[in-house]
Structure 1
Amino acid sequence: MSKNSASNTWMLYFTFAVPVTSPYGNTVHHKENATVGQFAFTTSEAGNYLACFWLDSAEKGSGVSLNLDWKIGIATKDWDSVAKKEKIEGVELELAKLEAAVESIHHNLLYLKAREAEMREVSEKTNSRVAWFSILSLGVCVVVSALQLWHLQGFFQKKKLI
């Protein structure tokens, strides 16, 4: 709890913990006793990441608000610092943004192309396996039918019906 001297009111600060876990269970980020803050991480594993937020301590019935701004890809770049660092502005900055967007789209398309090739390969293997299974099933049916005919023929010959 702290006192805001300007408005002479008391403000209550809750602390919370934030772990971020990768799809394979690796902890990418972990912060304890946070009241405010921001963090960033670059992923090395593809998949869904899990971010948990929980209060370290809170009174029952107390209202807590959490604002989360989750950015991925090109949206994470701080263009103001890029403009200052490279001393560009206006049209040049917009062109740099567009170039980064095109680069991001290109990388996404390459990723999708690779995934499509993998999926096509899996689909072709599955199709081949189904075809061979169908041929094997047909062969088993033919063999069983032949055995049934052979057995029935022997049965009827024993009964002297044929």
Structure 2
Amino acid sequence: MLRELVLSVLLLTLCARAHMIDVLAGKKECFFEDLHKQDKMTVTYQVGGGGHLDIDFWLSDPSGKVLNKQVKQSTGTTSITAEKDGRFEYCFSNQMSSIADKIVSFNVHGVIYIGDDDIVAPIEREIRQLAAGLATVKDEQEYIVVRERTHRNTAESTNSRVKWWSIIQAIVLFTVVAWQVYYLKSFFEVKRVI
């Protein structure tokens, strides 16, 4: 019994997967998950780079009915409980952009449904709660890593702009000083008339 419990916990933690993809400008990327009735699935995503850091996302059931749609969002989370067996599709779309590619980090968590008729030992219930808490901590940690990368890129970009602006200002300053010296020098020159 304990060995089966440990095996089921390991399977639950393996159901959580983290991915990082590039969604090209004008394209979409779709993924599929096969779920059974009463299985639960959570998709969390974060745009880590490109354009205005926004992307379109939708999740649809096996019949093609859209269960959740998010337009031009930089982060999002969606959770569903499958009402029927089949292949569920979730897509990230960058079709609104014709220039900027996007970098998207996303996690998919699946929880296999265990019916009420199964007897769940208190330790098994506790292990499931710990596995869910661990998945939440992992999501938050990945979110913080992506946010740190975004902020670092912004800081480096700002630093580069400040550097180039300072160089341009120095060039303009020296050009104006040289012109003023030349002009004042020509103003005080004595012109001879023969």
TM-score, structure 2 normalization: 0.44
* Paired residues for 1:14-33 under 5 Å: 22=23, 24-29=25-30
Partner of 2:93: none
Gaps of 5+ in 2: 1-22, 31-41, 59-64, 71-75, 80-107
Does residue 1:148 correspond to 2:151, yes or no?
no
Partner of 1:8: none
* Equivalent residue for 1:131, pick from 166, 169, 172: 166
Distance in 2 (CA, whole Å) between partners of 1:100 and 1:24 is 31
Q: RMSD between aligned alpha carbons? A: 3.8
Number of equivalenced pairs? 110
* Equivalent residue for 1:77, pick from 98, 105, 109: 109
By how many angstroms is 1:74 displaced? 7.6
Does residue 1:102 correspond to 2:137, yes or no?
yes
Gaps of 5+ in 1: 1-21, 30-39, 53-65
Structure richer in helix, relative to its length: 1
1:71-121 residue CA offsets vs partner (Å, 9 max, x unmatched):
855845332x1768xx88522222111100100111111112222222222
SS at match of 2:54: coil
Q: What is the one-letter code of the residue matched to 1:139? A: F
SS at match of 1:24: coil
Change in Cα spacing, 1:28 to 1:42, as seen in structure 2 (3 Å) is farther
Larger Rg: 1
User: Which structure's relative contact order is higher, taking Cα pairs within 8 Å and 6+ residues apart?
Assistant: 2
Change in Cα spacing, 1:145 to 1:128, as seen in structure 2 (3 Å) is same
Partner of 1:158: 191
